Every structure is written in C-alpha cells, then in structure tokens.
Amino acid sequence: MSLWEYANPVKFIRTTDKVLPWVWTLAGLCLVTGLVWGFFFTPNDFRQGSTVKIIYIHVPSALMAINAWLMMLVASLIWIVRRHHVSALAARAAAPVGAVMTVIALATGAFWGQPMWGTWWAWDPRLTSFLILFLFYLGYMALWEAIENDDTAADLTSILCLVGSVFAILSRYAVNFWNQGLHQGATLSLDKEENISDVFWFPLLVCMAGFVLLFIALVFLRTQTEIRARRTRALLAREGQA
C-alpha cells in the first residue's frame, strides 16, 4: 500500500468517489459555521467598523490562491519525475480554481480597500504580486488549452509551472523593492506578539479550513471530470477507427 496506487485512474476515481461526499459536507459545514459566526456573532472592529468582516473571505481565498499554485507545482514535479497522468490532470484541474481564488482575493481586497484606504487599487507590493500571480494562472491555462497532444501539453505546462514558480517568487521580492505598500504585514503568524484578536481568529480559522476543504473537493471533482473526458475521447477515437 503506497501513495502511488492512486496514480491508477480507476483507483483514484473509486477512492475519491468515496471521500468526496465527506469532503463536501465538511467544507459546507466549516464554511457555513465560519461565515455565519464571523458575519453575525463577532463584534465590529473599533476602527474598521463592519468592513473587518471581509477578512473571512479575503484571507482564506488569498491563502488558497497561493497554495493552489504550490499544489500545481508538486503535481507537475510528480508528473515530470514519475509520469502519472492523474497528477498532470490534477494540476490542470487546480489551475482555474486557483485563478478564481486569486480573483476573489483581489476583488474582496478592493471592496475592503475602498472604505479603508480610500482607493480600490494601489500599486502595493502584495496587490501587485497577486495580480502577477493571476497572469501566471492565465498563461498556464492558456498553454493547456492551446496544445492538442495531451502528453506534450502536460510536459510543457509542468515546465512552465516550475519556471513560473521561480519567477513568481522573484517578482514578489522585486515588487517589494519597487514600492512601499499600504497592505499590512503578517498578523496571523503563530509566533508573534501582536496578532489579530482571538475573537476574529477562531471564526477565521474555521473559514480557512472550509476553503481548504472546498479546494480539495473541487480539485478532486475536476480531476475526475478530466479523467472521464479523456476516457470518452479515447473511446470515441477507437470507434472512429473501427
């Protein structure tokens, strides 16, 4: 019994079929609990008023926007090294989810920034690097769509993912150098004195767990879809030959 057994598409679909309802349920539970708790049962911030509640969507989606790319990186590496098709398809499946998370983070950030900073958008390092991350997602998805041969597409996109990761990190530090920002620094670290207050922290934690579970569920589902779509195409091709 090893992890690599799930590289078998049949095994992968069978297992995820069993797991998916649980993940969906847990994700829904966490999201409903976290959001309801956050929106209705936490006090307003003494300075930010009720806008502080945007945090329950903004922070988890930003978290998943970055981690989705990380997951794609790992899946791409697995594809390059061990050539498991499920891995390549999982990377492909994660990209649109990650891109949407990036958009959500940017949009909620804009809604939050308007009342707090007096502007929808500022060329702040964090905002800018998120925009660049979004461009990377776009390029990655466009390359998948553009190439017809599945294996070639998987190879090229995984190398793009590797190179893109390096450049995304480079850009992150470059924009830091380029402009000082409005965005606050980390306030969710575990080891710092001055953190977000516990009242906001616990519902936020539940929301983050909900977003992680939601992401897992979506990626599983989309990977299944990709596997089935590819199987259908293979069947159709065989019919055409016969």
Partner 1 sequence: MRALLLRDLMLAIRAGGGFGLGLAFFLIVTVLVPFGVGPQTELLSRIAPGILWIGALLACLLSLDRILALDWEDGSLDLLATAPLPMEGIVTIKALAHWITTGLPLVLAAPVLGVLLSLPVPAYQWVVISLAVGTPALSVIGTFGAALTVGLKRGGLLMSLLVLPLYVPTLIFGAEVARRGAEGLTVQTPLLLLAGISFGVIALLPFASAAVLRINLR
Interface contacts to partner 1, rule CB under 8 A: 132, 135-136, 138-139, 142-143, 146-147, 152, 155-156, 159-160, 162-164, 167, 170-171, 173-175, 177-178
CB distance 52 to 200 below 8 Å: yes
Residue (157 or 223) nearer to partner 1, CB: 157
Residue type, 221: L
Residue (42 or 171) nearer to partner 1, CB: 171
Residue (56 or 137) nearer to partner 1, CB: 137
Distance in Å, CB of 155 to partner 1, minimum:
4
Within the chain, how many helices (H) and strands (E) appear?
Answer: 6, 0
Distance in Å, CB of 163 to partner 1, minimum:
5
CB distance 203 to 42 below 8 Å: yes
Nearest to 206 by CA among 87, 28, 1: 28
Distance separating alpha carbons of residues 184 and 31, to the nearest angstrom:
25
**Ramachandran region, residue 49 (left: φ > 0; alpha: ψ -120 to 50; beta: rest):** left
Distance in Å, CB of 62 to partner 1, minimum:
19
Distance in Å, CB of 159 to partner 1, minimum:
5
Residue (16 or 171) nearer to partner 1, CB: 171
